[in-house]
Chain A
Amino acid sequence: MMSAVPDPVAGTPATLGVPDLTTWLRRYAAEIVAHEQELTDLDAAIGDGDHGANMTRGMTAVVAVLDQTPFETLDALAKKVGMTLVSSVGGASGPLYGTFWLRFAKPLSGLARTDAATLGLALRAGVEGIQQRGKAEGGDKTMLDAFLPALAAYDAAVDAGAEPTAALRDAATAGRAGCAATVTMVARKGRASYLGERSAGHQDPGATSAALLLECAVS
């Protein structure tokens, strides 16, 4: 639960803690399973059709870790999530989402809870990790087309004084819009780029799983 009510541990609603991140990840795993066929169909149109199965395998492995291991800090949890995805997803989204969570962990080192500004640093580190790993930019029809506008919306909300929940909600809205915008784009990275112009007219599967991730932080 994002802390809409005062959290007895933190004593303030303006933070995100280990239980919140755990809830976020479990919700994401459930949404990935619910959208597996959609992700597979999107990927089959412009890629190799394994994104749904790969993400389901990865997030199922993450849930197994959450069931087995208690985490005391956000960075320990995020690091473990990253390593689990790296070893279980198989496709390119393994090292990409793996890098996201491993980099996300760094600014949160030793923290059981984070405020909105530090969470923003973690999100930025994660997204920049994806950017560096995939050597992609906005407009290339990749997961970055959801993540980059989401990051900008998050930072704008925090600058305006928003708490994590509200800032993440803005991020999710911007991420979904960014994902929708990939429909008209021509892919310049990944397997879809082999299709050239024919990749236009299809929503990017990576941007779709990224938009889902952001939405699961709040809904």
Chain B
Amino acid sequence: MISILVVSHSRPLAEAAAALASEMVPAEDGLRIGVAAGIDTPDGPAYGTDAAAVAQAITTYDSPEGVLVLMDIGSSVLSAQLALEFLEEEEIADRVLLCSAPLVEGLLAAAVAAAGGATLERAAAQARAGLFAKQYQVADVSTSDADPAPAGATRNRPPASDDDPWTTCEVEVTSPVGLHLRPVGRIVALVLEHEAEVRVSNLDTGQGPLPADSLADMLSLAADCGHRLRFEARGPRADDVLDAIAALAGTGFGDS
């Protein structure tokens, strides 16, 4: 499993973001999220970033599948790039990926993808698509400005044959707060566990079908309480994954 490193000017910000992301995935999945944020000064902790500390943290959180680095702005990016330069002669540098995703949105999406076994590139694509979901929900960006293909190009699941038939199930969103972040995280995790290709449509808004293994796409469904969702799956374990989704829906997607 890949690990994730959060680089920020603010240590409390990074630690809180990492804690929030950890809430999105089961602890037993063993996802490791590290923090390299703030600097230590003679007067105590201060805002800022330290490229040497980032390099050290990359080494600490190294995994065979790689380390995804999410950053806030300015010197966080410069320090992360310099940290990679420090490591450039070591093998580890080949499996570190700096991701341009917005820190919080990207981290949540990356955590779910990583815990589901996503590759470095796929987790990064999911993280970048984190912004797309919010753009869709807030609707303050014209569609042409928003990322048109959030994550579809980079999935690492073996593709189902186009000739495979789709199996369908329909469920209702029963939680009063709609299909929010954590239930969506649970659905995406379920889908990633199975080898089936799954897509989902919101029958009440007409949105979709969208890939159900993408946190960003799932959030962009904007499914409110009472909305009916159609999940369609194909591939060897299509029935299994739809059964699992139906069972999850029966618990209010884990909220009840």
**Do A and B share a complex?**
yes
Could you list which residues of chain A lie within 8 angstroms of chain B, going by C-beta atoms? 50, 54, 57, 83, 86-92, 94-96, 98-99, 133-134, 190-191
CB pair B50 A94 closer than 8 Å: yes
Q: Mark the stretch among B57-65, B73-81, B155-163, B204-212 that contacts chain A.
A: B73-81
Size range of the chain B interface in the assembly: 10 to 19
CB pair A90 B82 closer than 8 Å: no
CB pair A95 B48 closer than 8 Å: no
> In the complex, which residues of chain A have a beta carbon less than 8 angstroms from the beta carbon of B78?
92, 94-96, 133-134
Interchain CA distance A95-B7 in the complex, whole Å: 14
- Closest CB pairs A-B (n = 6): A90-B48, A95-B78, A92-B75, A90-B39, A95-B82, A86-B51
CB pair B79 A95 closer than 8 Å: yes
**Is B144 in the interface zone, CB < 8 Å from A?**
no
Interchain CA distance A98-B41 in the complex, whole Å: 17
* A91/B52 contact (C-beta < 8 A), A86-B79, A133-B82, A134-B78 known: no
Among A54, A91, A95, chain B packs the most CB atoms within 10 A around the CB of A95
> In the complex, which residues of chain A have a beta carbon less than 8 angstroms from the beta carbon of B79?
86, 94-95
> In the complex, which residues of chain A have a beta carbon less than 8 angstroms from the beta carbon of B52?
83, 86-87
CB pair A190 B74 closer than 8 Å: yes
* A87/B39 contact (C-beta < 8 A), A54-B48, A94-B49, A94-B75 known: yes
Contact of A99 among B9, B39, B82 (CB under 8 A): B82
> In the complex, which residues of chain B have a beta carbon less than 8 angstroms from the beta carbon of A86?
50-52, 79, 82
> In the complex, which residues of chain B have a beta carbon less than 8 angstroms from the beta carbon of A83?
52
Task: Specify the chain A residue showing the minimal Cβ separation from B43.
Answer: A57
Beyond contacts A87-B39, A90-B9: 9 other A-B pairs, Cβ-Cβ < 8 A, are: A90-B75, A91-B74, A94-B48, A94-B49, A94-B50, A95-B75, A95-B78, A133-B78, A190-B74
The number of inter-chain residue pairs (CB within 8 angstroms) is 57
A to B CB contacts below 8 Å, 26 in the list: A83-B52, A86-B50, A86-B51, A86-B79, A86-B82, A87-B50, A88-B41, A88-B50, A90-B50, A91-B48, A91-B75, A92-B74, A92-B78, A94-B49, A94-B50, A94-B75, A94-B78, A95-B75, A95-B78, A95-B79, A95-B81, A95-B82, A99-B82, A133-B78, A134-B78, A191-B74
Interchain CA distance A57-B81 in the complex, whole Å: 22
Interchain CA distance A98-B79 in the complex, whole Å: 10
Task: Specify the chain A residue showing the minimal Cβ separation from B82.
Answer: A95
Interchain CA distance A94-B9 in the complex, whole Å: 12
Min CB gap A141→B, angstroms: 15
Among A86, A87, A92, A96, chain B packs the most CB atoms within 10 A around the CB of A86
> In the complex, which residues of chain B have a beta carbon less than 8 angstroms from the beta carbon of A98?
51, 82
> In the complex, which residues of chain A have a beta carbon less than 8 angstroms from the beta carbon of B48?
54, 89-91, 94
**Is B53 in the interface zone, CB < 8 Å from A?**
yes
Interchain CA distance A90-B10 in the complex, whole Å: 11
Min CB gap A95→B, angstroms: 4
> In the complex, which residues of chain A have a beta carbon less than 8 angstroms from the beta carbon of B75?
90-92, 94-95
Interchain CA distance A89-B9 in the complex, whole Å: 12
* A133/B53 contact (C-beta < 8 A), A90-B47, A92-B74, A190-B74 known: no
Interchain CA distance A173-B227 in the complex, whole Å: 70
* A90/B49 contact (C-beta < 8 A), A98-B82, A191-B74 known: yes
Task: Specify the chain A residue showing the minimal Cβ separation from B75.
Answer: A92
